[in-house]
């Protein structure tokens, strides 16, 4: 296969992953209620974790003690991301959820800068401010009311997701860890947490499964296979065939897909003020990503590798 054709295949698969992530908010919105959040997450993580574990077993590579420790810690943080995000989806629109969570793109470098002591260019803070103003406009949607509970929960999810990305580097560093093993342990940790929580909160797992008619069952399988397992496997495969920056750029189109799907398929109502907010979020996050990636080129090689890996996670 020629190099241009190979690059096209990699780019196309990454765009498919971004589109599937953009659709996650609408799919979850169709499946979840406030009472079924924990049960949905438990079953989703159990199935995804089982599929990933089967892939790991087929490779016959043993999970090391270091991978297990890091995976469990990161899995606890990831469970918090999923919990805030999914509870938020239950209380806001798919469009709002997909856009507000994209603030992770600006929160992650800000958090990494605070932890590492590396200063970011002043323009980055302006880009972050533009994106945050966009969120305020979108959440109010021209009514000048307080953001909804769902918007607030999604915002917390974006912050915790940035913590998850930053923690990944602090825990793994330059240690030889298999990304497939780490993700599998994280998913199984999430499955354990949500399965235990489902015994005490909301609908039990059997009740949630019984409520899945054929249409909802197909959507749930899509959520597990396409938006979770397929997405991670493509990321792992693609990052070895292209640059981390290119992977980050293509996966960064997720909020664009969320907007397209939310407005055209979910028919989310957006006022002129809301559209202005959408434009500011997309512009601010895109500009912030561009500034941060250019800033990487001024860093020492070791620092650059760490920050580029963050953009993929």
Do the Cβ atoms of 154 and 100 come closer than 8 Å? yes
Q: pLDDT-based confidence at 251, cuts 50/70/90?
A: confident
pLDDT digits (tens, 9 = 90+) for 79-134: 999 999 999 999 998 888 988 988 888 888 888 888 777 788 889 889 888 988 88
Residues 135, 100 contacting (CB under 8 angstroms) = yes
CA pair distance 281, 299, nearest whole angstrom? 27
Q: Distance between CA atoms of 219 and 227, rounded to whole angstroms?
A: 11
- In whole angstroms, what is the distance from residue 134 CA to residue 137 CA? 5
Residue 303 has pLDDT above 50, yes or no: no
pLDDT digits (tens, 9 = 90+) for 231-243: 888 877 776 677 6
Contact indicator for 36, 202 with CB cutoff of 8 Å: yes
DSSP H helices in the chain:
3-31, 37-59, 65-89, 94-100, 104-116, 122-140, 149-172, 179-197, 205-210, 214-224, 231-238, 244-251, 254-264, 272-296, 301-312
C-alpha distance across the termini of the chain, in Å:
28
What is the torsional sign of CA 149, 152, 157, 163?
negative
Query: Is the sign of the CA dihedral 202, 205, 210, 212 positive or negative?
Result: positive
Task: Give the pLDDT score at 305.
Answer: 46
Q: What local confidence, expressed as pLDDT, does residue 237 receive?
A: 79
DSSP secondary structure, 57-84, as one string: HHHT-PPPHHHHHHHHHHHHHHHHHHHH
CA distances from residue 59 to 52, 54, 180 in whole angstroms, order as listed = 11, 9, 10
107: Cβ contacts below 8 Å, ≥ 6 apart: 158, 159, 161, 162
- The residue written with tokens 């991670």 in the block is 232
The predicted-structure confidence for 130-172, as pLDDT tens digits, reads as follows 988 888 888 776 665 677 899 999 999 999 998 988 888 778 7
């Amino acid at each position: 296969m020629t190099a241009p054709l190979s690059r096209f295949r990699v780019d196309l698969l990454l765009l498919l992953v971004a589109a599937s992530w953009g659709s996650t908010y609408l799919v979850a919105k169709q499946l979840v209620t406030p009472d079924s959040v924990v049960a949905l997450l438990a079953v989703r993580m159990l199935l995804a974790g089982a599929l990933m574990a089967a892939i790991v077993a087929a490779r016959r590579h043993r999970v090391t003690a270091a991978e297990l420790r890091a995976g469990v810690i990161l899995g606890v943080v990831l469970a918090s991301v999923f919990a805030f995000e999914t509870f938020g989806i239950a209380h806001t629109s798919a469009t709002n959820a997909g856009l507000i969570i994209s603030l992770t793109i600006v929160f992650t470098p800000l958090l990494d800068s605070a932890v590492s002591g590396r200063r970011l260019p002043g323009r980055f803070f302006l880009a972050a401010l533009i994106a945050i103003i966009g969120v305020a406009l979108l959440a109010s949607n021209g009514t000048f009311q307080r953001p909804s509970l769902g918007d607030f929960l999604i915002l917390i999810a974006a912050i915790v997701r940035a913590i998850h990305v930053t923690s990944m580097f602090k825990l793994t560093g330059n240690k030889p860890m298999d990304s497939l093993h780490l993700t599998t342990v994280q998913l199984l940790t999430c499955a354990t947490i949500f399965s235990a929580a489902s015994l005490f909160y909301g609908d039990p797992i059997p009740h949630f499964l019984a409520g899945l008619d054929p249409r909802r069952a197909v959507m749930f399988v899509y959520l597990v296979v396409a938006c979770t397992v397929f997405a991670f496997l493509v990321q792992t495969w693609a990052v070895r065939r292209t640059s981390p920056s290119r992977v980050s750029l293509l996966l960064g189109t997720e909020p664009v897909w969320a907007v397209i799907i939310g407005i055209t398929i979910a028919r989310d109502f957006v006022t002129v003020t809301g559209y202005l907010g959408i434009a500011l979020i997309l512009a601010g996050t895109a500009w912030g990503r561009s500034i941060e990636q250019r800033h990487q080129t001024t860093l020492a090689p070791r620092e650059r590798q760490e920050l580029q890996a963050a953009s993929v996670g």
